[in-house]
A and B are shown apart, each in its own frame.
Chain A
């Protein structure tokens, strides 16, 4: 009995001496993630998104070809790389999804409330139109660098709001985004936490949404990701394309400037 206890103690000591690193085999994990990201099922939504973009839809029987995502009507190349940005017609700073909803309402005559309600699809479903469209439009910026500018005062204001919100501790847990995403080599259970104060890591984030979420088997967007973060932290429900969501997106995208966009990403 004594011998067993001693050997157990020796084993325990060995375990303590060897440091437990979340990133002890970064190359191994990175290779695995890269393999999963290449040719991921998210690509199956690209064609659907393209179809939906060019199809005449809604009461106005119009396509989205005249939608201005910031670079002029119908110009998609590089548009996602410059979002969120200020739009003179709506007098708002809008991200890709907010702008998409604006165009679907203005150009196609679709109902705003319906779009907001159905934008985020159920897991294991066929996904929503907005998810497919957001993926297609972002994919037209693939290979380009994230380049959010804050020239307009409203853009600067939105960025500042996002920065404040990112650091603000709130809710039952009294956590801010910074609490979990402000240090290196942290994880929640077995999920590595992105250190969003690290340039390389935040670039990885902003370049990979929309992404195929393996567990949900549908394409998810940045709006969904923020919504889900708020949900899991027991914060009030983050409304689709709300000011808070756009402020945070502006902050994160600006932090991730220089990231090479590559969608669809692949998430767990």
Chain B
């Protein structure tokens, strides 16, 4: 499995502010290495965010998204203790799933 994500979900009323950091090279397929060879296309194609098992975001990404991408979203109707699960899949078939619990507002 690929490198773990960092997910933070903090409550603001009934809206969970979710911040996700992913570790991924997100190669555009245009870059050349030191020898002059093209570094192959390698990017996250799909990101799914679920709230207590229900999909709240399903994103189609392209190689235009930067290396080590950050994704932020707000989930309405969240409570402290709810589960936020994030899954990404890339064009090599690699997958990564991580989850966190919504933390109460501090």
A interface SS class: mixed
Are B3 and A44 touching (Cβ within 8 A)? yes
Contact A44 B70 (CB under 8 A): no
Count of A interface residues, CB-CB < 8 Å? 9
B19 touching A41, Cβ below 8 Å? no
CB <8 Å contact, A44 and B67? no
Interface size on B, residues (CB 8 A): 12
Please, could you name 17 A-B residue pairs with CB atoms under 8 Å apart, sorted by A? A39-B19, A39-B72, A40-B21, A41-B21, A41-B23, A41-B67, A41-B68, A41-B70, A43-B21, A44-B3, A44-B21, A44-B68, A47-B4, A47-B6, A124-B25, A212-B68, A217-B68
Contact of B6 among A43, A124, A212 (CB under 8 A): A43
B95 neighbours in A (Cβ, 8 Å)? none
Q: Mark A18-61, 1 if CB is under 8 A from B, else 0.
A: 00000000000000000000011101100100000000000000
A39 pairs with B21, CB closer than 8 A: yes
Q: How far is the CA of A238 from the CA of B21 in the complex (A)?
A: 33
Given A39-B70, A44-B6, A44-B68, 6 more A-B residue pairs with CB atoms under 8 Å apart are: A41-B70, A43-B6, A43-B21, A47-B4, A124-B25, A217-B68
Whole-angstrom CA separation of A44 from B23 in the bound complex? 7
A217 near B6 with CB under 8 A, answer no
Instruction: Tell me the residues in window 91-106 of chain A with beta carbons closer than 8 Å to chain B beta carbons.
Output: none
